[in-house]
């Protein structure tokens, strides 16, 4: 197989994005992390998150997770803790989310037995207007 020509048919469709990866030295990484901290402290959380993800700054990622947790965006908080990696903060969320899932499964299994209380998962999963109705 001619691997050089495999993707030629996609040339005109703009399917692939060409990127180049340039290594970031420790001085650039430190400068980016400082910028991320400034953004975080000024309330620009998503911009700070992008920088911390790029640099792999675990303390910053953990703080983003704390922010998400304070807003009841638990799945997103868990994602940040997991990437950080901050297992001390991730494990309680895993247990909490597992309990929610177990509750949803139990509610689904007993649905044929009559009405059950509806579990509102909107705050846990960060989705407005969603429940297990």
**Is residue 14 domain-resident?**
no
First to last CA, the chain: 52
- 19 pLDDT exceeds 60? no
Let me know if residue 42 belongs to a domain: yes
CB 81 within 8 A of CB 89: yes
Whether 8 is covered by a domain: the verdict is: no
67-78 pLDDT, tens digit per residue, is: 999 999 999 999
Q: How many whole angstroms separate alpha carbon 48 and alpha carbon 42?
A: 10
Instruction: Give the residue-averaged pLDDT of 63-67.
Output: 98
132 — pLDDT class (breaks 50, 70, 90): very low
Cα gap 58→94, rounded to integer Å: 19
**In this structure, which long-range contacts are made by residues 91-98, counting pairs with CB atoms below 8 Å and at least 24 apart in sequence?**
93/69, 97/124
**52 falls within a domain:** yes
Q: For residue 71, give its domain range.
A: 24-125
Q: 63: domain CATH number?
A: 1.25.40
Asked if residue 130 is part of any domain, the answer here is no
Based on the structure, what is the number of domains in the chain? 1
Residue 120 included in any domain = yes
Distant-in-sequence, close-in-space partners of 85: CB < 8 Å, separation ≥ 6: 58
Is residue 35 one of the residues assigned to a domain? yes
Lowest mean pLDDT among 44-53, 57-66, 100-109, 115-124: 115-124
From residue 55, alpha-carbon distances to 12, 25, 42, 47, 69 in Å are 33, 10, 19, 13, 22
| Domain-embedded: residue 132 | no
Tens digit of pLDDT for each residue in 23-57? 778 999 999 999 999 999 999 999 999 999 999 99
């Amino acid at each position: 197989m001619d691997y050089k020509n495999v993707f030629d048919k996609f040339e005109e469709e703009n399917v692939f994005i060409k990127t180049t990866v340039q290594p970031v030295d420790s001085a650039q990484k430190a400068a980016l992390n400082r910028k991320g901290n400034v953004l975080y402290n000024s309330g620009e959380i998503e911009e700070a998150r992008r920088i911390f993800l790029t640099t792999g700054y675990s303390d910053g990622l953990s703080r983003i997770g704390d922010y998400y947790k304070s807003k009841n965006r638990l799945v997103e908080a868990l994602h940040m803790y997991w990437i950080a990696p901050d297992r001390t903060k991730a494990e309680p969320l895993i247990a909490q989310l597992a309990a929610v899932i177990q509750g949803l499964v139990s509610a689904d299994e007993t649905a044929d037995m009559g009405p059950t209380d509806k579990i509102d998962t909107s705050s846990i999963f960060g989705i407005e207007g969603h429940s297990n109705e």
